[in-house]
């Protein structure tokens, strides 16, 4: 079991990260709440990890804080919630926002997450009600991911990241277009943040 990675951040293509650990590159899937807090490329990074093993793949998930990893592990224990859905939930809602949704029985906010239907949202609220501790920060106080130096198609990158999280391509395009109108010169990380924020509970 791989529980932690300490190395150099070699690449970021949300939700996929590449971490170089003494010459070995580890591919890690991370929620946007972690990606927003990453250092710049080439700098040291430490991630708390969870290894998910299935019949067809071994997938490593990474988190800046151990509390986020524990929340991820709590989510995948809920019936009907797999690692991919848990990743999408933690990309749109950090611990504080998710706790607020559960406390307020906010099914409407949870069903905005791709793949989460009404029954799954209701199950999440019931099963998480006594498990979420008030130890998370403010959901609106998320730092931005450092922008890469080369000029890139920020809107395209943002759309690809949202699609990888499970949003339909047409929905991702609309979300990014709305974010682009709000901040025309925003980089991909900012566009993703604004797009996800528009889907989060008020």
Residues linked to residue 17 through DSSP beta bridges, in sequence order: 12, 28
Quote the Cα angle for 167-111-105, to 5°.
Answer: 150
- pLDDT higher than 70, residue 84: yes
Whether 97 and 45 share a structural domain: no
pLDDT of residue 201: 65
Answer with the one of 13, 39, 63 that is the final residue of a domain: 63
Residue pair 59/72 in contact (Cβ under 8 Å)? The answer is no
Domains identified in the chain, total number: 3
Residues 6+ apart with CB under 8 A from 100: 106, 139, 201
Reported as a pLDDT band with limits 50, 70 and 90, residue 149 is: very low
DSSP class of residue 141?
-
User: What are the backbone angles phi and psi of residue 124, rounded to the nearest 5°?
Assistant: -60, -45
pLDDT of residue 202: 55
Q: Which tokens in the block code for residue 195?
A: 């797009």
Answer with the one of 63, 85, 109 that is the final residue of a domain: 63
pLDDT in tens, 156-173: 888 888 888 888 888 889
Instruction: Assign residue 95 the CATH number of its domain.
Output: 1.10.150.20
Whether 93 and 118 share a structural domain: yes
Share of the chain above pLDDT 90, in %: 50
pLDDT of residue 38: 94
Range of the domain at 185: 154-199
Answer with the one of 20, 46, 63 that is the final residue of a domain: 63
Name the nearest CA neighbour of 48 among 29, 61, 35, 32: 61
Indicate the range of 92-96, 131-135, 149-153, 160-164 predicted with least confidence: 149-153
Distance CA 92, CA 75 (A): 14
- Look at residue 138 and tell me if it is in a domain: no
- pLDDT higher than 70, residue 137: no
Distance CA 165, CA 122 (A): 21
pTM for the model stands at 0.74
Instruction: Assign residue 48 the CATH number of its domain.
Output: 2.40.50.140
Whether 78 and 40 share a structural domain: no
- Look at residue 34 and tell me if it is in a domain: yes
Instruction: Assign residue 174 the CATH number of its domain.
Output: 1.10.8.10
Is 97 or 151 the better-scoring residue by pLDDT? Answer: 97
- Look at residue 149 and tell me if it is in a domain: no
């Amino acid at each position: 079991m791989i529980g932690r990675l300490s190395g150099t951040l070699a690449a970021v293509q949300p939700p996929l990260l590449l971490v170089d650990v003494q010459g070995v590159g580890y591919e890690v899937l991370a929620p946007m709440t972690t990606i927003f807090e990453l250092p710049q490329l080439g700098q040291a990074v430490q991630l708390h990890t969870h290894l998910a093993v299935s019949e067809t793949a071994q997938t490593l998930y990474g988190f800046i804080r151990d509390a986020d990893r524990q929340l991820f592990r709590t989510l995948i224990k809920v019936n009907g919630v797999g690692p991919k859905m848990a990743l999408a939930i933690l990309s749109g809602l950090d611990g504080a926002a998710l706790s607020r949704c559960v406390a307020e029985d906010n099914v409407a906010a949870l069903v905005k997450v791709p793949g989460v239907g009404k029954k799954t949202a209701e199950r999440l609220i019931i099963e998480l009600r006594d498990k979420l501790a008030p130890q998370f920060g403010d959901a609106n106080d998320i730092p931005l991911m450092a922008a890469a130096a080369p000029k890139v198609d920020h809107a395209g990158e943002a759309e690809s990241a949202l699609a990888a999280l499970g949003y339909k391509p047409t929905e991702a395009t609309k979300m990014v277009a709305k974010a682009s109108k709000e901040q025309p010169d925003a980089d991909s990380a900012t566009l993703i943040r604004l797009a996800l924020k528009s889907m989060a509970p008020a």
